[in-house]
Homo-oligomer: A and B are copies of this chain.
Amino acid sequence: MKKRDVYLDNMPLEEAKKLFFEELREAGVLKPREPEILDVRKALGRITAEPVFAKISSPHYHAAAMDGIAVAAKDTFGADESNPIRLKEGINFKYVDTGDPLPPGCDTVIMIEEIHPVGDGEVEIIKPCSPWDNLRGIGEDIVATELIVPENHRLRPQDLGAILAGGHVQVAVRRKPVVAIIPTGTELVSPGMTLKPGDIIEYNSSVLAGFVEEWGGQVLVMEKVEDDYEKIRQRVKEALERADAVIINAGSSAGSEDYTSSCIAELGKLLVHGVAIRPGKPVMLGRIGDKPVLGIPGYPVSAALTMNLFVKPLLYLMQGIPAPVPEKIEAVMSRRVVSSIGTEEFLRVKLGRIGERVCASPLSRGAGVIMSMVRADGIVRIPALKEGLEAGERVEVELLRPAYEIENTVVITGSHDITLDLLASEVKKYYPELNVSSAHVGSMGGIMALKRGEAHMAGMHLLDLDTGEYNVPYLKRYLPERGIVLVNLVRRQQGIMVQKGNPKGIKGIEDLKRPDVLFINRQRGAGTRLLLDLKLKELGISPHEIRGYDREEYTHMAVAAAVAGGSADAGLGILAAANALDLDFIPVSPEEYDLAIPEEFYHLDSVKKMLSVINTAEFKKKVEALGGYDTRDTGKIIYQGVGVSQGRFR
């Protein structure tokens, strides 16, 4: 059995970067790659390896700039309306089209609109012209020897045109730096293989390869190698022969890390192993000969982050151009986040403009949650010396998508329902420029988000225990001063999800208190949890009697997954979630799931578009197909709260 005997540094990020890049600079590794000669027409997006000076002028001859006749200006002097001058073709003039060379003896062009053919090859003109009218002189665009583009310039379409116009057929560009990626880990299996417990789909190399390509490098994905020191060492040596830089994707277990770090240290120099960042701490930075070699951690978020911090600047330096600077905006944190002193954290956030400000909601912080990178709109850095971020604190966000996309995002916060996923996808189909982002914080969380101005709408299914009415009583109680439009999204069946075949024979809520039943609950404020509490109250059962009452998940699907995986026997949730994971379902109660939209957002163009999608027959059809949903009121306004919003206090 392997034991963790790897000593990890906890080096501050700036120190690690300095150490790594200074070592590489001193070793002469950071220079741009040598030039390669390309056909100009194949050089789009490449970086010039030397300045390009024009070999010829453009135009390379005096060219007519209009369709008309070429003449000697002196032949036109004195012409006016009462004394037109006649010119004869072949003697005084020659017809020219735009781009034709100026014939000998001529020094100007008269536009075709200004001549009056009078037959016999003669034309009349009624005004004189100056020399060099309607001409493009030699070099008007480009003069031979002139600089067209400097060295270290990324070639755009117009640059290709100018370089061709300047008489070049080829151009010297930087060779793309080749980056070898070595996946390591005995547990890795290729995508598409049948999986058994413990197998991990090897997808990191595709993510890393994608980054390398986007940063202008050329990728060489090596065959994956198991956790065997000699084999890893051999694969690294092969990679060193073929690439400008080597990335060992080090697996996440200590054994795998150990091999990688030892291998770098044996073949070259391991400069850093362990940086005070989260995620990404176990990154390794080293050099073997004149090649940078990095151990990139196995957890996908750690991998993506450390690639951005170390490989991105490296690749741009190897191309001679500065790395693009990410766009940044200021946002306000929607929730408090606690962070460890001494570690710089890179927090993934969802963003949305709500009225005057952009709100940032933290996503899952787990290093293994690649969906947090898929869902994230940006990254907030929490400095090493800060203990975290307060709710309402202003933060700078490095954007992962353009700012205008953030502006076009409808933010739904509150209870989770699978139809929200469906809605997000359908909206994107009808309105590609529009985004729907949903954060799952439970129904009460959604109301609080509306109160704090952090969402455009809240998804909720809150049953009032006194009136039996859904949602409206809660809006009146918690948002009495806001004008709210409540729109039904769906009616849905809530019930108990149990494993296929119902092995514990659960028949209803009362069985949840059985000692052999392990329950999994939703978080406080979730409508589903309120429903459970109501039912328990009706049956006179105390929450303490239920094993697992305190274990909380944030979504229906997470509860379903816990049941499917066997870590719980039962959980309350919706039929669609049970169906999705092939669970049995014992109906408990139907309920209304509505969207509460403050009036000021109800009139937003983006919100109107989203509501129009909800009202399509196609959306309703897809919802019904999920099972457990009733769309008879979908898209209807259930309630429009007048509040004080239309009165004198607003």
A residues with CB within 8 A of B: 1-4, 40-41, 44, 51, 56-63, 65, 67, 95, 97-101, 107, 112-113, 132, 136-153, 156-162, 164-165, 167-169, 185, 187, 191-192, 195, 197-201, 203-204, 206-211, 213-214, 251-255, 298, 300, 304, 320-322, 324-325, 366, 368-371, 373-374, 402, 404, 418, 421-422, 424-425, 428-429, 432-433, 551, 555, 557-558, 560-562, 564-565, 567, 580-581
Query: Quick one: which of A145, A185, A371, A422 has the most chain B CB within 10 A?
Result: A371
- Given the interface pairs A97-B253, A214-B157, A564-B138, the reply to whether A40 lies near B191 with Cβ below 8 Å is yes
Residue of B nearest to A89 (CB): B1
Q: List 22 A-B contacts (CB under 8 A).
A: A4-B113, A44-B214, A57-B561, A98-B254, A98-B298, A99-B251, A99-B253, A136-B366, A137-B561, A137-B565, A146-B421, A147-B421, A151-B429, A152-B428, A152-B429, A152-B432, A157-B207, A158-B210, A165-B300, A165-B370, A167-B201, A321-B432
In the complex, A139 Cα to B559 Cα: how many Å? Answer: 10
State whether A146 and B557 are in contact (beta carbons under 8 Å apart), knowing that A61-B198, A325-B404 are contacts in the complex. yes
Number of copies: 2
Q: How far is the CB of A370 from chain B (nearest CB, A)?
A: 5
Chain B's closest residue to A190 (CB) is: B169
B residues in contact with A44, CB < 8 Å: 209-210, 213-214
Given the complex of chains A and B, what is the CA–CA distance between A421 and B44 in angstroms?
23
Residues A562 and B137 in contact in the complex (CB < 8 Å), given A40-B206, A164-B191, A207-B160 = yes
Q: Are A145 and B198 in contact (CB under 8 A)?
A: no
Q: With the chains together, A95 CA to B61 CA distance in Å?
A: 82
Min Cβ gap A484→B in Å is 28
Q: A546 CA to B150 CA in the complex, in Å?
A: 39
Q: Are B324 and A402 in contact (CB under 8 A)?
A: yes
Further pairs besides A59-B368, A161-B300: 14, Cβ < 8 Å: A2-B97, A98-B254, A99-B298, A112-B254, A139-B558, A141-B366, A142-B370, A152-B428, A152-B432, A160-B210, A165-B203, A324-B402, A325-B402, A325-B404
Task: Write out the residue numbers on chain B whose beta carbons fall within 8 Å of the beta carbon of A428.
Answer: 150-153
Q: Which of A150, A304, A422 has the most CB of B within 10 A?
A: A150
Cβ of B252 and Cβ of A374 under 8 Å apart? no
* Contact call B112/A4, Cβ cutoff below 8 A: yes
Q: A161-B300, A198-B61, A213-B44 are known contacts. Are A424 and B147 too (CB-CB below 8 A)?
A: yes
> Chain B residues near A198 (CB, 8 Å)?
61, 63, 99-101
Check if B112 sits within 8 Å of A3, measured CB to CB.
yes
Cα distance A317–B607 in the bound complex, in angstroms: 22
Distance to closest chain B CB from A115 (angstroms) = 10
Identity of the chain B residue whose Cβ is nearest the Cβ of A147 in the assembled complex:
B421
- Separation in Å of the A258 CB from the closest CB of chain B? 10
Q: Is the CB of B370 within 8 A of A161?
A: yes
Q: A141 and B370 in contact (CB under 8 A), knowing A161-B206, A161-B300? A: yes
Quick check: B424 and A150 within 8 Å, CB to CB? yes
Least Cβ–Cβ distance between A177 and chain B, in angstroms: 15
A195 to B143, CA, bound (A): 16
**How long is the Cα–Cα vector from A581 to B146 in the complex, in angstroms?**
10
Across the interface, which residues of B come within 8 angstroms of A113, CB to CB? 4
> Per a CB cutoff under 8 Å, which of B146, B160, B208, B373 touches A206?
B160
The CB with the most chain B CB atoms within 10 A, among A251, A374, A555, A561, is that of A374
CB-based contact B368/A141 at 8 Å: yes
With A137-B561, A254-B97 already in contact, the answer to whether A60 and B195 are too (CB < 8 A) is: yes
Report the nearest B residue to A3, measured CB to CB.
B112
Which residues from chain B contact A160 at a C-beta distance below 8 Å? 203, 206-207, 210
Q: How far is the CA of A67 from the CA of B65 in the complex (A)?
A: 76
Whole-angstrom CA separation of A2 from B99 in the bound complex: 14
Q: Name the residue of chain B whose CB is nearest to the CB of A408.
A: B322
Interface contact B100-A201, CB-CB below 8 Å: no
Closest-CB distance, A268 to chain B (whole angstroms): 26
- For residue A80, give the distance in angstroms from its CB to the closest CB of chain B: 22
Chain B residues with Cβ below 8 Å from A253 are 67, 97-100
Residues A137 and B203 in contact in the complex (CB < 8 Å), given A143-B561, A164-B191, A374-B158: no
Q: Write out the residue numbers on chain B whose beta carbons fall within 8 Å of the beta carbon of A320.
A: 429, 432
Interchain CB contact under 8 A, B195 and A252: no
A368 and B561 within 8 A (CB): no
Give the chain B neighbours of A61 by CB distance below 8 A: 197-198, 565
B3, B149, B169, B207: which contacts A161 (Cβ < 8 A)?
A: B207
B99 touches A187 (CB 8 A): yes
User: Which residues of B are found within 8 Å of A150, using beta-carbon distances?
Assistant: 424-425, 428-429
Contact B137 A41 (CB under 8 A): no
Residue of B nearest to A41 (CB): B206
Q: Please, which residues of chain B bring their CB within 8 A of the CB of A146?
A: 421, 557
Q: How far is the CA of A158 from the CA of B204 in the complex (A)?
A: 9
State whether A557 touches B162 (Cβ < 8 A).
no
Contacts of A138 in B (CB 8 A): 561-562, 564-565, 567
Q: A201 — which chain B residues lie within 8 A by C-beta?
A: 58, 164-165, 167
Residue in contact with A254 in the complex, picked from B67, B144, B167, B187, CB distance below 8 Å: B67
Give the residues in chain B near A421, CB-CB below 8 Å: 146-147
Which residue of B153, B371, B424 is within 8 Å of A162 (Cβ)? B371
Q: Are B208 and A157 interface neighbours, CB within 8 A?
A: yes
Q: How far is the CA of A121 from the CA of B169 in the complex (A)?
A: 73
Are A145 and B433 interface neighbours, CB within 8 A? Answer: no
* A254: B residues at CB distance < 8 A: 67, 97-98, 112
**Which residues on the B side are within 8 Å of A56 (C-beta)?**
195
Chain B nearest Cβ from A139, distance in angstroms: 3
